[in-house]
Copies of this chain bind each other. A is one copy, B any other.
Amino acid sequence: MCEANAYLIKNKENEKELIMESVDTIEPEEGGLLIINIFGEQKFIKAKIHSLSLVDHNIYLMQESAAC
């Protein structure tokens, strides 16, 4: 299997919070992301996908910046 763990980057010191393990799909939905793991569990988080490191099985999410 090729699932990964989704972490939310919490601040500029790169502190991370594990949001969900064994993530299969991430889809944009209504101002955030719908995350679904290989067991079919779902989580919604108001964030965007920041970066990926797939060989390490890591997905990094970040809260939407207020840049607009």
**A-B CB contact pairs (8 Å), 11 listed:** A2-B4, A2-B57, A23-B54, A24-B53, A25-B51, A25-B52, A26-B51, A28-B51, A48-B48, A52-B52, A54-B54
Per-residue CB contact flags for chain A residues 38-60 toward chain B (1 = under 8 Å, else 0) read 10000000001111111101010
| Interface set of A (CB-CB < 8 Å, partner B) | 1-4, 23-28, 38, 48-55, 57, 59, 67-68
Instruction: Work out how many copies of this chain go into the complex.
Output: 2
Given the complex, which residues of B lie within 8 Å of A52, measured CB to CB? 23, 25-26, 49, 52, 59
Q: For residue A34, which residue of chain B has the nearest CB?
A: B51
Q: For residue A26, which residue of chain B has the nearest CB?
A: B52
